[in-house]
Structure 1
């Protein structure tokens, strides 16, 4: 897949079949749009093109931080895995936000990229004030010779799949299993192992303390989780038990992410870890003693191993 960051890197291609959006999460609803795009590109002998923005438009337009299910690089990797030909990232600035929907279509999609066909979701809005919609695209398509396809909402278990719902599942409930069902894969985050207090080693559960790679990345609700862990570029994946929380038995300060790898021996300091969440085991809580905590950790490990064993 060709990755083009900024319009100055874009090479005009009159056979471009395009979809536009933030696609945060690349969930099942997004995947339906992308698979339709890929099918249409194959039928027409054209190139499938995903156009997205960085940072998230809401951060610029409303000046508010937006928690991300996927970073731009994670989205790019997922698009490539699906078979997309080109991924174009447009830096979203205040000047770009002032561009009208009509100008965006004519100046960027048609004149710069080479729009032949556009695939959009049923509720897609774009351009200044989200003034662009399917009706506008149909009108501009007649003028500039491109076609428009609108994909209906994608429903899983009577729910319309949305990034907002998945964020809520993770942050409010820690329901990583339901989030995975809507994403079509386990929710994942990456980070670098940093030095911690070393307390886990003294109680028989050494942990790797994780500094998450992206400041906007969604962190699931505090608690204990069964996870899969891939260190760096290593092919081997380890089972793990992750705690997200404030370590109330010891200090109750700040939010920490730490993971205990099952059956691992070695030094992880400075290495990158990719964490995939499998199941939430319990809430974090304060224990009356270190001994009570250790007893619970042994029980957690049993449940963790059972949860990981159940994964296909």
Structure 2
């Protein structure tokens, strides 16, 4: 498979494939609604023999406009690009969202960024995508300009599940309530996080449950509790997924400290310190609880592990659809 190309603001114009089709959006989570836009761009590209790219923005525009407001992102930049690479797109255009970008008019964005710099031949967007200063750019503007520009524009309607529109905010809400199955359905695959394994208090080792500890973003809105998880290690052909059970929370039985993700990998022995792991959330088991003693906690951990194994056995094909980005 050809390498996934990432085009940034400093990429020379001569290195940008001319005539590409772009799927535009913020793509936080790369959920089913986003995937419909991507599929439309890829179909347009196949029809005309053109490469299909995602066009997205970093940091997320919400971070620029509301820097002091906590933002629970479903995917950071790297996770988003890996998911985009997993769709089969040829690459992604990552535009820096800063003061200059925020002040660019919709017309200038179309003519300077899309036509002159990128040389696009087609654009796919969702029905609610807006761009340009004051968010005055819209799908209808793109459609009206398309004939004069000689490009094709495809506007995708919203995607519904059980008569509820799929959206990044709906997925955040599901994760905040521990509704992992609902989040998975809207995403089209398990939600996952990535992080480096750090040293902890080593309590799990003493309890017979040594854990890989990962500090998540402070704005992570995942419900505190116990989860069935799959843990990804390595890249490319060496990549492996290992079943496990994880706790995300403040450890009320011990220190009630800062939120930490603690993952116990089933049937695994080895040193993971310093390694970056992917943790995919397959099912919710229970809320975080405070126990009166270690014995009661261990009995509960035994029960949690049994339930996690059962959930994972029932979901043999639940893996994030990731690609390699280098």
The two structures have a TM-score, normalised by structure 2, of: 0.90
Give the structure 1 partner of residue 270 of structure 2.
Answer: 266
Task: State the alpha-carbon separation in 2 of the partners of residues 86 and 192 from structure 1.
Answer: 26
Q: Classify 1:217/1:271 alpha carbon distance in 2 versus 1 (closer, same or farther; 3 Å).
A: farther
Q: Could you list the runs of 5+ residues in structure 1 that have no partner in the other structure? A: none
**3-state DSSP class of the match of 2:45?**
helix
Counterpart check, 1:176 vs 2:180: yes
Give the structure 1 partner of residue 198 of structure 2.
Answer: 194
Stretch moving more, 147-156 or 94-103: 147-156
Stretch moving more, 33-42 or 67-76: 67-76
The two structures have a TM-score, normalised by structure 1, of: 0.94
1:142 maps to which of 144, 147, 153: 147
Aligned pairs for 1:62-77 within 5 A: 62-63=66-67, 64-77=69-82
Give the structure 1 partner of residue 323 of structure 2.
Answer: none
Stretch moving more, 60-69 or 156-165: 60-69
Deviation digits for residues 8-51 of structure 1 (CA, Å, limit 9, x no counterpart): 44445442212211111111111111111111110111221211
Give the structure 1 partner of residue 288 of structure 2.
Answer: 284
| C-alpha displacement of 1:135 | 2.6
Task: State the alpha-carbon separation in 2 of the partners of residues 136 and 228 from structure 1.
Answer: 43
| C-alpha displacement of 1:112 | 0.5
Task: State the alpha-carbon separation in 2 of the partners of residues 272 and 49 from structure 1.
Answer: 27
Counterpart check, 1:5 vs 2:5: no
Task: State the alpha-carbon separation in 2 of the partners of residues 259 and 200 from structure 1.
Answer: 10
2:199–2:273: 8 Å Cα contact kept in structure 1?
yes
Give the structure 2 partner of residue 300 of structure 1.
Answer: 304
Give the structure 2 partner of residue 154 of structure 1.
Answer: 159
Deviation digits for residues 105-155 of structure 1 (CA, Å, limit 9, x no counterpart): 011001110122211111111111110112321332233222222111111
Give the structure 1 partner of residue 104 of structure 2.
Answer: 99
1:56–1:66: 8 Å Cα contact kept in structure 2?
no
Task: State the alpha-carbon separation in 2 of the partners of residues 217 and 228 from structure 1.
Answer: 22
Task: State the alpha-carbon separation in 2 of the partners of residues 139 and 216 from structure 1.
Answer: 43
Deviation digits for residues 187-232 of structure 1 (CA, Å, limit 9, x no counterpart): 10111111111111111111111133xx377452100001011234
RCO higher in structure (CA 8 A, sep ≥6): 2
Give the structure 2 partner of residue 89 of structure 1.
Answer: 94
2:172–2:221: 8 Å Cα contact kept in structure 1?
no
| C-alpha displacement of 1:62 | 2.8
Aligned pairs for 1:186-225 within 5 A: 186-212=190-216, 215=217, 218-225=220-227
Counterpart check, 1:229 vs 2:234: no
| C-alpha displacement of 1:260 | 1.0
Structure 1 vs Structure 2 CA RMSD: 1.6
Counterpart check, 1:43 vs 2:47: yes
Give the structure 1 partner of residue 322 of structure 2.
Answer: none
Task: State the alpha-carbon separation in 1 of the partners of residues 163 and 244 from structure 2.
Answer: 33
Give the structure 1 partner of residue 132 of structure 2.
Answer: 127
Q: Could you list the runs of 5+ residues in structure 2 that have no partner in the other structure? A: 317-326
2:26–2:56: 8 Å Cα contact kept in structure 1?
yes
2:234–2:240: 8 Å Cα contact kept in structure 1?
no
1:190–1:274: 8 Å Cα contact kept in structure 2?
yes
Q: How many residues align?
A: 309
2:85 maps to which of 80, 84, 97: 80
